[in-house]
Chains A and B, each alone.
Chain A
Amino acid sequence: MNPSDNVLALETVNLCKHFGGLPVTQDVSIKVRSGERRLLLGPNGAGKTTLFNLITGDRLADSGQIKLFGEDITKLAMHKRAHRGMSRTYQIITLFPHDTLERNVALGLLALRRSRWDIFLPMPQDIRDEARRVLDLVGLEHLGDRPISVIAYGEKRRVEIAMALAQKPKVLLLDEPLAGLSSMERADIKALIASIPRATSIVMIEHDMDTALDIAETITLLHYGKVIVDGTREEVVADQRAREVYLGH
């Protein structure tokens, strides 16, 4: 099934960001169509995570626009973007270490519900059941009652993704989901990402080119905060400039 051409799930228009005097994001314009699997590539320091941070609202852009399904969210507070259907995972594990796996995913589910403001009743049972179901999707239901601190790194990565997936996002931003994993673990995560329904558009940052190229349909190559190449996988792989960026000048 091809990504539908008409609907732009995510769009940035001339996004710019400076840190001190240093330009970190320069006129970045990308278009992600609904259902697309986009890979954000680039050497270290290219500004990939910063771009993510601008899209999710971790940082405010200096200029430019961000649109989610046509709606301008450039100035929208971070937590509101989640309610518009955006979810992300982080490069470093940002799970709740003292809580169980079930509680971690449940917190992700609770975030979008009215009952998160309830100061009397404990977490609703249906949220906890749903959390279990999501853990089952990523094959971790049997560890549901263990605290995060005792499970393996690869399993933590899966919980990260589970937490984001639990919210049934329309746009999912994955920041280096394969980092630090063994090849077997990578295969698991790759299969997991491949199984995500097309209702969710995915933008992924990855370093491991071979693995990432398997999942990506389109690629945006960043270098020094600027978009160098942007197109389908075949186009970018064949592009001379991509070779230069990765193999040196």
Chain B
Amino acid sequence: MKRIVLLSLSIALVFAVLPLFLGDFYINLGSQIMIAAVFALSFNLLVGYAGLTSLGHAAFLGLAAYLSAWLTTRAGLGHGSAALLSIAGTIGVAGLFGLIALRASGLSFLMITLALSQVLWGLAYRWVAVTNGDNGMTRLTRPQPFGISIDSAISFYWFALIVTLVAFLLIAIFVRSSFGNSVTGTRDQDRRMSALGYDVWMIRWITFIYAGFWAGIAGLLYVYYNKYIHPTSLSITTSAEGILGVIAGGSGTLVGPIVGAALVTFLKNYVSSILDRWNMLLGFVFLIIVLIMPDGIVPGVCKLWALVQRGRK
């Protein structure tokens, strides 16, 4: 564990210094990558560690974002209390959704999570009085943690970097803890785990809520960064981007989702600037990853390389 802390701190230091040499476009890209990374890390808790494939994780990202937006603009709360309440609300809904979805398993679980997140999406879309529907909520503000403004690209970047680092470390601790061991146990042999004396349902429910918590944190970062929120944040496309990041990087590891999230964010930004066909590309990338490199890019590239080497002989 000490190694992980030292390594991540040093990498974070490198990334902290980088923006001093780059323009705003890259700094903003960096911020977006970090938001995606936190989301992917949270998603991976479910998919990679608990073996629970959900397609509705964006619900928690979007919910926290909308709650924060609404509480600061319509309820007149300060960012501090708004953030606390948003996360509390997200955890509550995560608990509720978990109660419902965990009544099933496998594909049924997946379908229920999808349906549940669509319910939230539909709510955001139709309840125009509260959410402003398809127009989204605009002119939102960023908080001022400890009185420091994070309005500039670089200051937000550092803010996001700190949050991402903390998220990574806490999730790493969680995954390596005794409880974390039981989580992967339920992924591999849930019947055996029950027979041994583990309360598998409770383990899954707690993990579901914890994953929802970090997705909520990602949601707060998201709404602070964009200063705007739209129902798409709750959509299946957002969940799909998240899960793509997880599987592209390699699920079940700590670093995989970060790499995957970075890749997906890069792709999204570059494609959006050239064509308008992000959705189509997203779909194709899914196909490619699943068909050719199901374990993720890093192991997949290694395998391809080995194939090429063998072909040469």
- Establish whether A and B are touching in the complex (CB under 8 Å): yes
- CB-defined contacts of B174 to chain A, threshold 8 Å: 119-120
Q: Is the CB of A82 within 8 A of B191?
A: no
- CB-defined contacts of A94 to chain B, threshold 8 Å: 189, 191-192
The reply to whether the CB of A75 lies closer than 8 angstroms to some CB of chain B is no
Query: Among A82, A112, A117, A119, which residue has its beta carbon within 8 angstroms of that of B195?
Result: A82
Centre residue among B177, B184, B192, B197 by max chain A CB count within 10 A: B197
Nearest B-chain residue to A107, judged by Cβ: B185
Query: Among A58, A79, A99, A122, which residue has its beta carbon within 8 angstroms of that of B197?
Result: A79
Centre residue among B1, B184, B199 by max chain A CB count within 10 A: B199
Q: Which of B164-198 contact A (CB under 8 A)?
A: 173-174, 176-182, 184-185, 188-189, 191-198
Smallest beta-carbon distance B248→chain A, Å? 21
Q: Is the CB of B182 within 8 A of A58?
A: no
The reply to whether the CB of A201 lies closer than 8 angstroms to some CB of chain B is no
- CB-defined contacts of A77 to chain B, threshold 8 Å: 199
Q: Is the CB of B197 within 8 A of A112?
A: yes
The reply to whether the CB of A34 lies closer than 8 angstroms to some CB of chain B is no
The reply to whether the CB of A241 lies closer than 8 angstroms to some CB of chain B is no
- CB-defined contacts of B179 to chain A, threshold 8 Å: 116-119
Q: Is the CB of B177 within 8 A of A110?
A: no
Count how many chain B residues have C-beta atoms less than 8 Å from C-beta atoms of the other chain: 24
Query: Among B180, B188, B191, B198, which residue has its beta carbon within 8 angstroms of that of A111?
Result: B198
The reply to whether the CB of A108 lies closer than 8 angstroms to some CB of chain B is yes
Interface of A is mostly: loop
Nearest B-chain residue to A127, judged by Cβ: B178
Q: CA–CA, A94 to B191, complex, Å?
A: 9
Q: Is the CB of B173 within 8 A of A120?
A: yes
Query: Known: A79-B198, A83-B197, A110-B182. Is A90-B173 also a contact (CB below 8 A)?
Result: no
The reply to whether the CB of A246 lies closer than 8 angstroms to some CB of chain B is no
The reply to whether the CB of A220 lies closer than 8 angstroms to some CB of chain B is no
Q: CA–CA, A124 to B188, complex, Å?
A: 22
The reply to whether the CB of B200 lies closer than 8 angstroms to some CB of chain A is yes
- CB-defined contacts of A116 to chain B, threshold 8 Å: 178-179, 182, 198
Q: Is the CB of A121 within 8 A of B192?
A: no
Q: Is the CB of A96 within 8 A of B189?
A: yes
Q: CA–CA, A97 to B185, complex, Å?
A: 10
- CB-defined contacts of B180 to chain A, threshold 8 Å: 119
Q: CA–CA, A98 to B49, complex, Å?
A: 12
Q: Is the CB of A56 within 8 A of B195?
A: yes
Nearest B-chain residue to A117, judged by Cβ: B179
- CB-defined contacts of A90 to chain B, threshold 8 Å: 192
Q: Is the CB of B197 within 8 A of A107?
A: no
Nearest B-chain residue to A112, judged by Cβ: B197
Q: Is the CB of B197 within 8 A of A95?
A: no
Q: Is the CB of A122 within 8 A of B1?
A: yes
Q: CA–CA, A163 to B199, complex, Å?
A: 18
Nearest B-chain residue to A88, judged by Cβ: B195
- CB-defined contacts of A117 to chain B, threshold 8 Å: 178-179
Query: Known: A110-B178, A119-B174. Is A96-B188 also a contact (CB below 8 A)?
Result: yes
Q: Is the CB of A121 within 8 A of B185?
A: no
Q: Is the CB of A82 within 8 A of B189?
A: no
Q: Is the CB of B195 within 8 A of A78?
A: yes
Q: Is the CB of B177 within 8 A of A111?
A: no
Query: Among B178, B184, B195, B199, which residue has its beta carbon within 8 angstroms of that of A122?
Result: B178
The reply to whether the CB of A167 lies closer than 8 angstroms to some CB of chain B is yes
Q: Is the CB of A58 within 8 A of B195?
A: yes
Q: Is the CB of B181 within 8 A of A123?
A: yes
The reply to whether the CB of A115 lies closer than 8 angstroms to some CB of chain B is yes
Smallest beta-carbon distance A178→chain B, Å? 20
- CB-defined contacts of A95 to chain B, threshold 8 Å: 189, 192
Q: Is the CB of B178 within 8 A of A118?
A: yes
Query: Among A97, A103, A118, A163, which residue has its beta carbon within 8 angstroms of that of B196?
Result: A163
- CB-defined contacts of B198 to chain A, threshold 8 Å: 79, 111, 116
Q: Is the CB of A107 within 8 A of B196?
A: yes
In addition to A83-B197, A97-B188, 5 A-B residue pairs with Cβ atoms within 8 Å of each other are A57-B194, A78-B195, A82-B196, A119-B179, A163-B196
Q: Chain A: residues with CB nearer than 8 A to chain B? A: 56-58, 77-80, 82-83, 87-88, 90, 94-99, 103, 107-108, 110-112, 115-124, 163, 167
- Interface pairs A-B: 8 shortest CB-CB: A82-B197, A111-B197, A111-B196, A94-B192, A78-B194, A119-B179, A118-B178, A79-B194
